[in-house]
Amino acid sequence: MQTEIIPGQNSMLISIVTPTYNSAETVKDTLSSVAMQKGVEVEHIIVDGLSKDNTIELVKSFPHVARVDSEKDGGIYDAMNKGIRRANGDIVGILNSDDLYAHPDVLRKVAELFEDESIDAVYADLEYVERENTNKVVRYWRSGKYNTNQFYYGWMPPHPTFFIRRHFYEKFGEFNCKLRSAADYELMLRFLLKHKLKPAYLPEVIVKMRTGGMSNASFSNRLKANREDREAWRMNAIQPFFFTLFLKPFRKILQYVNR
């Protein structure tokens, strides 16, 4: 079932892919935030990795969900790729089962930016919030406007706010599942820097992300993530500055200061 469109409002179809695995604790917030979107047609695709809790029952209780597949996968990025292949929308966004849209007009505002045919992608700001209280902000990821030098200075847009025209996945590829924590970074590096797609910045918070991301869970995980970041540049045959990959985690510290 898809969101009803009011005559005169945006009729662009946006596909939202949500990977789930034992997500019953948080997925209801994710589903509710998509269901409440106004003024745009939404296709919500759930790709579940054979959850053992009641995730699927919760998902099926939301009539707006267009498709639910529960099957073995090779991890979160493999699940995202499956959802992308099954999407019918003009635009594709990824919303994880810990995350939620900040207000009911998020997707309408995203669609309005894509009405400009020269725009290939859209990104925005993100708030990290407490797991138990999504109104309590821990970090504020203010993306800022993009230019082609940004990646060299440790910049990347928050992936849950990143939307792109679906045909670019077909043209330039999906998530590289060889990377465990940096596949989203590599994909955006590939799309925006290597292939020079044109993004538009929506200067507001559109996603709330619960804290506890894999790459930040420990110092050893941060080191592994740094190695994967370096591999992302190598895969795309682009040479970063010697300080690029040190600036990337430093930017996260600034997110605590600037919230």
Q: If you write DSSP's letter for every residue of 35-60 in order, what string do you get?
A: HT--SSEEEEEEEE---SSSHHHHHH
Q: If you write DSSP's letter for every residue of 14-38 in order, what string do you get?
A: EEEEEEESS-TTTHHHHHHHHHT--
Domain boundaries, the chain: 13-257
State the virtual CA torsion across 252, 153, 81, 120 in degrees, nearest 10: 120
Residues 208-229 have pLDDT tens digits of 999 975 544 555 676 788 899 9
CA dist 169 and 166 (Å) reads 6
Residues 137-192 have pLDDT tens digits of 999 999 999 998 999 999 999 999 999 999 999 999 999 999 999 999 999 999 99
The closest alpha carbon to 227, from 250, 213, 248, 209, belongs to 248
CATH of domain 13-257: 3.90.550.10
CA dist 134 and 181 (Å) reads 24
* Tokens (6 digits) for 117: 């045919």
Residues 157-172 have pLDDT tens digits of 999 999 999 999 999 9
For the chain, how many residues are written? 259
CA dist 249 and 224 (Å) reads 12
